[in-house]
Every structure is written in C-alpha cells, then in structure tokens.
Amino acid sequence: MKIDKIISFLTYPGKHAEEQPEISGATIPKEGKLFNMLSGLFDSSESDCNIPIIFLTEDDSQNNSVRDEVVKLATSKSIGDGKILAQRLQLATTEKSGMGLIFFTIGSDGANHKIVISRFPADEGIVAERSSNTLKVEFVEEVFLKSAYSYKAVMYQFPIPNHDLWTGFAVDKQVNHGAKEVAAYWISDFLKSDFQTTPKQGTKRLAMALRDAISSCQDANTKHEIVSSAKLAKNIPNKAMSIEEFCDQFHLSDGAKQQICSQVKPARLLKDKFVFDRGEFDKHLSYKMVELDNGAILSAQASKFDDCFEATSTENDNSVRFVTSGRVIDEKLRRSK
C-alpha cells in the first residue's frame, strides 16, 4: 500500500500542566532517510503490531470520539485534523513519559485506508536547542534518529466506502526500556481503547485451562509441570501475553503445553493477547491440593503451598513425608472430599 502523507508533531507532558504548551507540526517529505524508515515501519506494521485492541463505546452510545478523529484524519490527511489527535495525546502524557514525536503515516490502495500512529521519545537536550517554535523537518529527523527503534505504535485499516473502524493492532517497542507493554496512557487515555481480550477475560481463560489440565492429566510429571507453572504465575510481569506465550515463558514440555492448550476452545483463543490479572487468577486457581494414598488431603494457597508444607521424599518406597505446623483456627467434617 502506498503512503499518501506523513505528518509529525512534537508533544509535551500535559496531563497535569496548568497551561498547555503549543504544539507545532510538519509534513514529512516523501524522500530521504526519515521517510524511508517510517515507510519501513508502515510496511511492517501488520506483523509488528500484533496486540488486538478495540475502541470502547462512550456511555450508552455506539460512538467513540477518538475513532471519529482517526477516521477523519485518514480521509482528510490534513495537518489540522492531525493536531487534534496530537493535542489529545499531550493531555494524556505525564512527566514520566516525557516529550515525544508523534507521526501519522497515512496510506490507501483504492479499497482501504490505513493509518499508523507512532510515538517516539524526544531527547530533551535536542529540543532545548531548538531556535524557534516552528517544527522543521531537519529537527524532526535529528530527534527521530536518536530513538528510531524505541517507540509505541498502533495500526488501523478500514474500507474506504463505509469507514467501518472499531479494531486495531498495537505494539510497544519501549518494553525493554522499563515501560509497561503498550503503556496504559497510550491505549486507555489517548486512544480510548482496551485490549480486545480484557485482562479479566484472558486471565480467567488461562486459569480455567490450567485447572482443567491439572484435573484431567494422568501423567504425574506432566501434572507437576503444570502445577509449578500455576504457582509461578504470580511472578508474571504486567505485560500482554497469550496462553501459548505463557507456556513458552515457563519452558513447558510439549506434553504439558498440549495438555493446557487442549482445554481452550476454540483453539484460535490461544493466540489472543491479554494483560495478566493476579486477582482474577486467584479467583479461579488459588489453592493447591495433594491427596495421599493413606487418605490424607493437604490443601493450601497455591503460591504458598511449599511454605506451608515441608516435603521429604523417601528412597525406599517412593513415599513423601509432609510436615507442617500452625494454630488450629477451624475444624470441619464433610460428607466427602
């Protein structure tokens, strides 16, 4: 798809500012190093931007003001419409995120519009040396080349006739620089969107898959692998992942991975990305239970089981001795386990 226009703006942290700094913009010529690099980002966006997001409807209406602004910019390609979105980003940006260059790369192929919105951090030293408030292409290129591989972006495509746009795809290449994957201010505050699979939905799906996999697994070693991964889930960082990536993160064997993945229907949901929600996970998979052949049942919070019970294996008969101590705070009789 050919690029029709690239517009850039320098934005400041404006979320808590008493006065909003003036935003200046520039149209990027369709030649030179800067254009070539942005063109490469535009061309690869369909594979690089792999986290599905969706515009949220406002109140009870079927509207989203950011969606309307994105559609308008993609069709008008005007610097004025781009400035409206740049101002929106500035109002959502805190001092922690700092100054940034936002680019709107707009293209079409006769049947569809495509727009890639990308933000790159701006070097404050370079910005301070600017001689005027006018945003010049040479200045944009100097700032851009300082952080060309550290950015966050979102890609939208929609048909030209009916402008039916509700979903897009995001990526955050700043995750290795200490930022949360697809920073909250970028998705929630700026784009008024959310992950297409919400944290609660995705985490519940993962917890249920682990629970059912443990319950149905016949192989002791495979079951131990899955239980161990469930215990370690509390250490998952606040980043988007899929159930397949969860299995890979803990280096599960093919057997354990297959046992978990077979519980997810339809299988395409295995690739859906979501942000792990520890509280939601504990609602559905919070306790580990061990049953011994002598009739004893040991139970504790999964993440604390090894702290509650000291296990010692014996070499003679492959049995395990569990030791624990504590004050009795409740005691019950039940019909069955």
* pLDDT for the residue numbered 196: 84
- For residues 102 and 106, what is the distance between their CA atoms, to the nearest angstrom? 13
In this structure, the answer to whether residues 293 and 148 fall within a common structural domain is: no
In this structure, the answer to whether residues 292 and 276 fall within a common structural domain is: no
Q: Within the chain, how many helices (H) and strands (E) appear?
A: 12, 14
* pLDDT for the residue numbered 256: 96
In this structure, the answer to whether residues 169 and 38 fall within a common structural domain is: yes
In this structure, the answer to whether residues 220 and 307 fall within a common structural domain is: no
Q: Cα–chain-centroid distance for residue 319? A: 44
In this structure, the answer to whether residues 43 and 143 fall within a common structural domain is: yes
Please report, in tens digits, the pLDDT of each residue of the chain (337 residues total): 999 999 999 998 888 888 888 888 889 999 988 899 999 999 999 999 988 898 988 776 678 999 999 999 999 999 999 999 999 999 999 888 888 889 999 999 989 999 999 999 887 665 655 555 667 777 787 777 777 778 899 999 999 877 788 899 998 887 544 344 456 788 889 999 988 888 889 999 999 999 999 989 988 889 889 988 988 887 887 777 899 999 999 999 999 999 999 999 888 889 888 888 888 998 888 777 888 888 888 888 776 788 899 988 887 777 888 999 988 866 766 555 5
* pLDDT for the residue numbered 97: 85
Q: List, as one string, the DSSP characters of 2-26.
A: EEEEEEEEEE---TT-SSPPPPEEE
Instruction: Tell me which of 195, 218, 246 is where a domain ends.
Output: 195
In this structure, the answer to whether residues 185 and 292 fall within a common structural domain is: no
* pLDDT for the residue numbered 102: 93
Could you count the other beta carbons within 10 Å of the beta carbon of residue 79? 17
In this structure, the answer to whether residues 172 and 300 fall within a common structural domain is: no
Instruction: Tell me which of 266, 285, 304 is where a domain ends.
Output: 285
With residues binned 3-state (H G I as helix, E B as strand, rest as coil), the percentages for the chain, rounded to 5, are 40, 25, 35
In this structure, the answer to whether residues 76 and 114 fall within a common structural domain is: yes
* pLDDT for the residue numbered 138: 77
* pLDDT for the residue numbered 40: 94
Q: 3-class DSSP state for residue 133?
A: coil
Angle at alpha carbon of residue 183, lines to 76 and 4, rounded to 5°: 20
Q: How many CA atoms lie within 13 A of 173 on its CB side?
A: 16
* pLDDT for the residue numbered 129: 55
In this structure, the answer to whether residues 87 and 190 fall within a common structural domain is: yes
In this structure, the answer to whether residues 190 and 77 fall within a common structural domain is: yes
Which letter, b or e, does each residue of 319-336 get, where b requires 16 or more Cβ atoms within 10 Å of its Cβ? eeeeeeeeeeeeeeeeee
* pLDDT for the residue numbered 60: 64
In this structure, the answer to whether residues 45 and 155 fall within a common structural domain is: yes
Instruction: Tell me which of 195, 219, 251 is where a domain ends.
Output: 195
Query: How many domains, in total, are found in the chain?
Result: 3
In this structure, the answer to whether residues 239 and 153 fall within a common structural domain is: no
* pLDDT for the residue numbered 72: 95
Its domain, for residue 321, covers 286-337
